[in-house]
Amino acid sequence: MATTNAGAPSAPAPARERSGDPIAQGEPAAIPAPPKPVVNDFSIQVATVNGSGSQSANSVLLRSIFAMGVPVSGKNLFPSNIAGLPTWYTIRASKHGYVARKKEIDVLIAMNPETAREDILSLRPGSAAIYEENMNLKQYRDDVVCYPVPFDKLTAAVCPEAKLRKLVKNMIYVGVAAQLLGMDMKAVEDSLRKQFAKKQKAADLNWAAVEAGFNYAAQTLTKQDPFVLERMHATEGKIIIDGNAACALGAMFAGVTLVTWYPITPSSSVVEQLIDFLKKYRVEPDGKASFAVVQAEDELAAIGMVLGAGWAGARSMTATSGPGISLMAEFAGLGYFAELPGVIFDIQRVGPSTGLPTRTAQADLLSVAFLSHGDTKHPILLPASVKECFEFAGAAFDLAEQMQTPVFVLSDLDLGMNNWMSEPFEYPEKPLNRGKVLTAEELKKAGEWGRYKDVDGDGIPYRTLPGTDHPKAAYFTRGSGHNEKAQYSERPEDYQNLMERLARKFETARTLVPAPVVVQAGKSKVGIIAYGTSDFAVLESRDQLKKEFGVEADYLRIRAYPFAKEVREFVASHERVYVVEQNRDAQMLSLLKLDLAAGETTKLRSVRHFNGLPIDARSVTDEIVMQEGI
Amino acid sequence: MAAGTVTNPGPKVNRIGLPVIEYRGSKTTLCAGCGHNAISERIIDALYEMGVQPERVMKLSGIGCSSKSPAYFLSRAHSFNSVHGRMPSVATGALLANKTMMGLGVSGDGDTASIGIGQFVHLMRRNLPLIYIIEDNGVYGLTKGQFSATADIGSKLKTGVVNDLPAIDTCSLAIQLGATFVGRSFSGDKKQLLTMLKAAMAHKGTVMLDVISPCVTFNDHEGSTRSYKYMQDHEEPIGEVGFVPSFEEIDVEYEAGSSFDVEMHDGSRLRLKKLPENYDPTDRAVAVKTLMEAHEKNEILTGVFYIDTQKPAFTDLLNLVDEPLALLPQERTRPGKQVLDEVMAKLK
Ligand SMILES: Cc1ncc(C[n+]2csc(CCOP(=O)(O)OP(=O)(O)O)c2C)c(N)n1
Ligand code: SF4
Ligand SMILES: [Mg+2]
């Protein structure tokens, strides 16, 4: 993939364009003049060691930029390890509101001696690097602006307690970066005090460290890189939340009553945060819980409990990742065939097998769509923002009960475990949709009923819940062949009728799932299809394509499987459609092929990204430009 | 029809006015003479005699000949024939969704002791209120007679194959893991099995009953340790099991000493008589030791081995609201707008 970036806003401008640079004013002539400032449009990478406690510092950096009103996003690239391995945290400030990963790093904060050499070597000319002075990174690059800082010395001065120094040291870099980037110190202090809200002493100590870093930079370092922050008003009223917390909130407001799980990265924090919310907001005045949470013995048990509860009428869910999804396969088929509601959150990570458990991917799509043996397929919701995590969590519970089938919500590590800006979530005003459930009174009126009979022509039958006080309410649920009355049957016509009805039911799902979002630029022949977290990169890439290459691509973002009719229409109305996704095998493209008319499938082209890092706009643009032959 | 009044002369009815036919299921499709059928009959009798409202029961099972049997009793109750070895999780979900129901689980020795051993173990330790019955024939009936993990060492298959691995004793396991009512019976022992099933229905917590149930097609021959003949020769009741349901008058006469009188959760009384001297059915260590010793002597001990009426059931540990979670109205499961506003404000 090409590494040039003609037109990328962060490319350093020539030194002579320095007029108007406030920082450069009055500097001695011997120091090279800083280039034209690049305002609110750059990325910072903090390279640390896992377990060194840099999270709070990184969070303060992110929140300070947010507090300055500048659109910002943060990504944690961490190893599958508790302590000791390298980890990187990337922050992107973007006045345009771009939140995809930016390939290029503009400001490096190198705190990990193990990776420091590699880290600085990966920078482009004109970037900046802040590092512990005795690492002497200058020796590797004379085309990078170097800011050596005596971190240990500064830390020792503000933190007499040796034990705490490892943690406090991180706040020194916050101060240095704040000074060099022109951060509003009020914003930094507010963010820091919010971070340590319940720990006054820790807040004071950390703030002293930030100030020490700031003062050191102010007195000793000379700003020579172009990257600066300036106050904006683009984040007012917005919230910051991770996707897993958003899923958890969505589930709580959807009235979930049974939550089962078996811990696995990156899904654990869905349930961990949900437990916190439920304990806070779903314990009744008499101290009793309107929910149950069970840490199951494995994912087989987790899904078994979900389906058992769904059968008995409770809103139930579990959260897992790829390996757990694999274990759920047999039960997923039972859920489909016996028509049992349940919600499964799959926070995708990199497979196959254990794969890269702390990296992101969109590679469970096909295995989830057809999870289990026989002719099985499942509705899937595909959120692409924290707001959609919240909304689709709610939609998933409605859909599962409406459709009487397991519904999967496919998020991923990038969305789930990173912090994102968002408009505040809206309170769900629509009442819960509990689906077609017959009560004892309704049974009395109806007389006869058949559990698996398609009364309404939508493929969705009626069910009763255990405990319904009517002698005809009961039926026998089984994963073996059954007729409309839920009786055991191996008759060919019974089986075929059942399978055809299930297919009809799946057709109904097309009309019930969230419709795609379509952005038509005009009469373009080129279309892009993406889903989930590939959205951020595609949005930015479309701007790049337009600005740099004059290509105005239309865009359709798929939000669910089965596909709504708009998807077919979109493909039909374009000559070439690029399907952008984060897996090797073009899984969404394959799924689309199964759904499109034969003549349409040849229009599909694939843009894939599968190295474990979130997809970036430049990669999408480069690939489309290449395939377009521009 | 439920709990209707009866006009004379009608069929004999139980205390809630239902004739025994209301407790029956579909016609069995298992082999004639299969022990599992006899167990279904005893379940019907127990439900009838206890006057259980059929609609208040959930039947759950895994996969196997044994797991099919919920179809052959109590058609008026919802039933869930799940997947092989995973009934415990389904039952857990269903009973957490509606803790007011009686859970009746039927499994096989393959379903429990092989593919399902993981879920079995965790079910026992949670003490979920569920009657868990293993219809134990020492083989996989449905897949045509392979050894199961409860087959005794030295036991012979019809084909002449001899089992050379030791058996898993599901009763000792259940006792060690935390089940609070553990016993073994024999499908052919009508009186004992019926009494134990009735007592089980009065218990709140996990009841684990291992019921030896000969498979007439694959494991009822010479050399099998799960045949009718072998059981007649080797069944050794640990004592007599008596049961007085809460709705019957409790007779006062009861001799202490080698007998044990346990008050059950609903006020019923479980009476264990003629127990060996020093046998304390509330002492796990004694129970497990006794089982192991009997095994050494090639005796198949039956009866109630262990009971604990004090340990909290899983549904109590979770401190759930009184009503079934499944039936809570939206007002109680979806927090109000002010809650979302509060959460959002904190995230700004
Ligand atoms: C995942 C899976 N593996 C294998 C089977 C095949 N199978 C069906 S029943 C059974 C054994 C049943 O034995 P047991 O539980 O002892 O019941 P029995 O038929 O003896 O009553 C097996 C292996 C299955 N249904 N599912
Ligand atoms: S094969 Fe054995 S276990 Fe199965 S029904 Fe026949 S006798 Fe019973
Ligand atoms: Mg068996």
Q: How far apart are the C-alpha atoms of A216 and A210, rounded to whole Å?
A: 10
Domains in chain A: ranges and CATH: 38-228 (3.40.920.10), 242-422 (3.40.50.970), 440-512 (no CATH), 517-628 (3.40.50.920)
Q: Is the CB of B137 under 6 A from ligand 2?
A: yes
What distance in angstroms lies between residue B65's CA and the mean position of ligand 1's atoms? 8
**Mutating which of A195, A236, A258, A433 best tests the B interface, going by the most B Cβ atoms within 10 A?**
A258
Q: How far apart are the C-alpha atoms of B248 and B269, rounded to whole Å?
A: 10
Nearest ligand, CA B110:
1
Query: What order of strands is seen across the sheet that includes strand A380-381?
Result: A292-295, A258-261, A316-320, A342-348, A406-412, A380-381, A560-561
Closest CA to A530 of A515, A517, A513: A517
A contact residues 431-460, partner B, Cβ 8 Å cutoff? 431-432
Q: Is the pLDDT of residue A219 over 80?
A: yes
Q: How far is CA A572 from CA A337, A529, A575, A578, A604, in A?
A: 33, 13, 8, 13, 11
Average pLDDT on A459-487 reads 98
pLDDT in tens, A282-321: 999 999 999 999 999 999 999 999 999 999 999 999 999 9
Closest-CA residue, ligand 1 atom 5, reads B84
Q: Nearest CA of chain B to the CA of A255: how many Å?
A: 4
Q: How far apart are the C-alpha atoms of A537 and A100, rounded to whole Å?
A: 5
| Longest alpha-carbon distance in chain B | 77
Q: How far apart are the C-alpha atoms of B248 and B264, rounded to whole Å?
A: 14
Q: Where are the beta strands (DSSP E) in A284-354?
A: 292-295, 316-320, 342-348
Q: Is the pLDDT of residue B289 over 70?
A: yes
What distance in angstroms lies between residue B233's CA and the mean position of ligand 2's atoms? 22
Contact status of B55 with chain A (Cβ, < 8 Å): yes
Q: Where are the beta strands (DSSP E) in A483-522?
A: 517-519
Taking CB atoms and an 8 Å limit, are B83 and A307 in contact across chains? Answer: no
Closest-CA residue, ligand 1 atom 6, reads B143
Reported as a pLDDT band with limits 50, 70 and 90, residue A32 is low
Closest CA to A128 of A103, A104, A108, A150: A108
Q: The tokens of A541 are what?
A: 């890439």
Q: How far apart are the C-alpha atoms of A520 and A536, rounded to whole Å?
A: 17
- Please tell me the number of Cα atoms within 13 Å of A549 on its side-chain side: 19
Number of A–B residue contacts, CB under 8 Å = 222
Question: Quick check: A358 and A422 in contact, CB under 8 A?
Answer: no
Q: How far is CA A349 from CA A230, A411, A414, B98, in A?
A: 36, 9, 9, 35
DSSP character string of A453-484: --SSSSS---B--TT-SSTT---EEESS-B-T
Closest-CA residue, ligand 2 atom 4, reads B141
The residue type found at A593 is K
> At CB < 8 A and 24+ separation, what contacts does B311-317 make?
B311/B127, B311/B178, B311/B180, B311/B205, B312/B127, B313/B127, B313/B128, B313/B129, B313/B204, B313/B205, B314/B92, B314/B96, B314/B126, B314/B127, B314/B128, B314/B129, B315/B95, B315/B96, B315/B99, B315/B128, B315/B129
ipTM of the complex: 0.96
Q: What percent of chain B has pLDDT over 90?
A: 89
CATH number of the structural domain B20-347 = 3.40.50.970
Q: How far apart are the C-alpha atoms of B195 and B190, rounded to whole Å?
A: 9
Taking CB atoms and an 8 Å limit, are A241 and B348 in contact across chains? Answer: no
Nearest ligand, CA B214:
2
Q: Which helix (H) or strand (E) holds B57?
A: strand B57-61
Closest-CA residue, ligand 2 atom 5, reads B30
pLDDT, residue B78, reads 98
Reported as a pLDDT band with limits 50, 70 and 90, residue B278 is confident
Q: What is residue A359's DSSP assignment? A: S
Q: What is residue A22's DSSP assignment? A: T
Name the pairing type of β-strands A107-110 and A145-149. unpaired
Q: What is residue A377's DSSP assignment? A: -
3-state class of A417 per DSSP?
Answer: helix
Q: What are phi and psi for residue B60, nearest 5 degrees? A: -135, 145
Average pLDDT on A370-398 reads 98
Q: What are phi and psi for residue A179, nearest 5 degrees? A: -70, -50
Average pLDDT on A389-401 reads 98
Q: How far apart are the C-alpha atoms of B80 and B94, rounded to whole Å?
A: 10
Nearest ligand, CA B35:
2
Q: Is the pLDDT of residue A20 over 60?
A: no
Contact status of B86 with chain A (Cβ, < 8 Å): yes
Name the pairing type of β-strands B269-273 and B260-263. antiparallel
Q: Which helix (H) or strand (E) holds A545?
A: helix A534-549
Q: Is the pLDDT of residue A589 over 60?
A: yes
Residue with tokens 């274990």, as numbered in its chain: A327
Chain Cα centroid distance, residue B101: 15
DSSP character string of A173-192: HHHHHHHHHT--HHHHHHHH
Average pLDDT on A519-547 reads 95
Question: Quick check: A35 and A18 in contact, CB under 8 A?
Answer: yes
Question: Quick check: B70 and B30 in contact, CB under 8 A?
Answer: no
Closest CA to A517 of A586, A564, A572, A552: A564
Q: Is the pLDDT of residue A26 over 70?
A: no
Average pLDDT on A491-497 reads 98
Closest CA to B142 of B98, B60, B84, B184: B84
Q: Is the pLDDT of residue A28 over 50?
A: no
Q: Is the CB of B135 under 6 A from ligand 1?
A: yes
Q: Which residues from A are below 8 Å from B321, CB to CB?
A: 284, 288-290
The residue type found at A613 is L
Q: Is the CB of B133 under 6 A from ligand 1?
A: no
pLDDT, residue A1, reads 36
Contact status of A290 with chain B (Cβ, < 8 Å): yes
pLDDT, residue A342, reads 98
Reported as a pLDDT band with limits 50, 70 and 90, residue A10 is very low
Q: Is the pLDDT of residue B5 over 60?
A: no
Residues β-bridged to residue B320:
A289
Question: Quick check: B111 and B69 in contact, CB under 8 A?
Answer: no
What distance in angstroms lies between residue B215's CA and the mean position of ligand 2's atoms? 5
Reported as a pLDDT band with limits 50, 70 and 90, residue B203 is very high
Q: b/e per residue, B314-348, with b = 16+ CB within 10 A?
A: bbeebebbeebbbbbeeebbbbeeebbeebbeebe
Average pLDDT on A145-165 reads 95
For chain B, give the mean pLDDT. 94
Q: Nearest CA of chain B to the CA of A477: how many Å?
A: 5
- CA A579, A584, A586, A587 dihedral sign is negative
Q: What is residue A10's DSSP assignment? A: T
Q: Is the pLDDT of residue A33 over 90?
A: no
pTM assigned to the model: 0.94
Q: Is the pLDDT of residue B120 over 60?
A: yes
Q: Is the pLDDT of residue A341 over 90?
A: yes
Mean pLDDT lowest for which of A319-323, B32-36, B295-299, B302-306?
B295-299
Q: How far apart are the C-alpha atoms of A150 and B282, rounded to whole Å?
A: 68
What distance in angstroms lies between residue B313's CA and the mean position of ligand 1's atoms? 29
Chain Cα centroid distance, residue A346: 11
Q: Which helix (H) or strand (E) holds A388?
A: helix A386-403
Q: Which residues from B are below 8 Å from A471, CB to CB?
A: 1-2, 22, 54-55, 76
Contact status of A341 with chain B (Cβ, < 8 Å): no
Q: How far is CA B335 from CA A52, A569, B2, B329, B332, in A?
A: 38, 40, 37, 11, 7
For chain A, give the mean pLDDT. 94
Q: How far apart are the C-alpha atoms of A262 and A285, rounded to whole Å?
A: 30
3-state class of B58 per DSSP?
Answer: strand
